Structure 1
Amino acid sequence: MSTLLSLNAQSRDADHMLEQALQQWGGERDLWIFGYGSLIWRPDFDFSERCSAHVHGWHRALKMWSTINRGTPQCPGLVFGMLSGGSCQGMVFRIPRDYGEAVMRKLWLREMPNAVYDPRWLPCKTLQGPVQALAFTLSRQSPHHTGELEPDEYRRIFSQARGIYGTTLDYAQATFDELQRLGIADKALQRLLSYADCDRSVESVAI
């Protein structure tokens, strides 16, 4: 069962949520982080172990608005969030306890500058046994959740949205490519990327 860092009056304060996460971890054991999107191919922290992991009750979804990293306020892009329901295959990273706090603080600067995600401790199944890992989930009640998007909207976003770290399309493609390299299938993401492939085909015919 997942543990949500408590949602009270201070719940959308990133610093408060970080202190909660550090307190719940406790620093007495190694820290585990669950990656399902860009953390898989660009973790930006040192780790002592990485292995495939499966989470039940949550799934990877390209349904979170991005107005800085992969889009702008005028042309919002998309990034991944973990939504409730289904299951998710990703990677868990083990950080030795002596470095856990430093890694978590660095990770917070990357993932939680606007406190959009709901950090949760999720049970993850690995070939070596179960671990409890920190994951960044997204609420469907969040204003950053896109809701259901039509294929034409994905096509438009893939063709137009670009932020300080590049395009939404490059971000989604890099995640898909790394998942494939690791032997992890994601048919939903493959279907979304096919919308962009359709645009590329149209462009090549026009040329």
Structure 2
Amino acid sequence: MTMWVFGYGSLLWNPGFDVARREVAVLADYHRSFCMRSIHHRGTEAEPGLVLALDAAPGARCAGLALAVAEGQEDRTLDYLRERELISSAYLEKMLPVRFQDGGTAEAVTYVIDPDHVQYCGGLALEEQAQIIARAVGGRGPNTEYLFNTASHLAEIGLSDPDLDWLARRVRALAV
């Protein structure tokens, strides 16, 4: 049975594991949001950045990629993802149903935000998000790189996100 992982942020452009197949997919009842303060990868404890998370919202839909893990790599991939995504316990690992463009469905390993975690910061205004992203830098590099890569990869696969597109334009203007 194929193991699927739902990618909506950096997994789109940096999965870090062997991907056998990519399918555009939609996850119901969550939306992509810069609602997690990043104190490791794209910021520090002193100056947190922001990273995307899936924030629960009944009726919402998040378009992304379902990534099929290469056969025989399931355990290694899950270990890798847990080390990467669960570094501060702000994400919760869930098996959630995704719907492919062709109408098929699958259960996918999905990382969603824990709204009770100290790093959760849902509801920030887009301008505040832009100001934070423009200046934060963490262990994996500038927060701007994370935003720009995610926005451009979404656009490449025909899944532009209006909020991310606005943020990318605004953060570029702030950098001038």
- Normalising by structure 2, we get a TM-score of 0.91
Kindly state the Cα deviation for residue 151 of structure 1 after the two structures are TM-superposed.
4.1
The answer to whether the aligner puts 1:159 opposite 2:134 as a matched pair is yes
- Which residue of the other structure, out of 154, 170, 175, is the alignment partner of 1:179? 154
Runs (4+) of structure 1 moved beyond 4 Å? none
The range that moved more, 126-135 or 74-83, is 126-135
3-state SS of paired residue (2:25): strand
- Which residue of the other structure, out of 107, 116, 119, is the alignment partner of 1:141? 116
Q: Deviations over 1:43-81 (max 9, x none)?
A: 010021111101111111111001111011111101110
Partner of 1:38: 10
- Which residue of the other structure, out of 81, 87, 90, is the alignment partner of 2:53? 81
Q: Contact 2:48–2:136 at 8 Å: present in 1 too?
A: yes
Distance 2:103 2:69 in 1: 16
3-state SS of paired residue (1:48): strand
Letter in 2 for 1:90: G
- Which residue of the other structure, out of 94, 98, 101, is the alignment partner of 1:120? 94
Q: Contact 2:86–2:92 at 8 Å: present in 1 too?
A: no
Letter in 2 for 1:68: H
Say if 1:98 and 1:159 are closer, same or farther in 2 by CA, change over 3 A: closer
Say if 1:97 and 1:187 are closer, same or farther in 2 by CA, change over 3 A: same
Q: Deviations over 1:67-109 (max 9, x none)?
A: 1110111111011100012110000111245321111111111
Aligned runs of 1:5-154 on 2, under 5 Å? 29-85=1-57, 86-126=60-100, 127=102, 129-154=104-129
Identity of aligned residues (%): 28
3-state SS of paired residue (2:72): helix
Distance 1:116 1:158 in 2: 19
Say if 1:143 and 1:41 are closer, same or farther in 2 by CA, change over 3 A: same
Q: Deviations over 1:129-183 (max 9, x none)?
A: 1111010001222211113223442232133110111111110110000000111
Q: Contact 2:30–2:62 at 8 Å: present in 1 too?
A: yes
| Structure of higher CA gyration radius | 1
| RMSD over equivalenced CA pairs, Å | 1.6
Partner of 1:4: none
Gaps of 5+ in 1: 1-28
The range that moved more, 144-153 or 127-136, is 144-153
Distance 1:134 1:63 in 2: 20
Structure in which a larger fraction of residues adopt strand: 2
Q: Contact 1:58–1:83 at 8 Å: present in 2 too?
A: yes
Distance 2:76 2:173 in 1: 44
Distance 1:152 1:99 in 2: 41
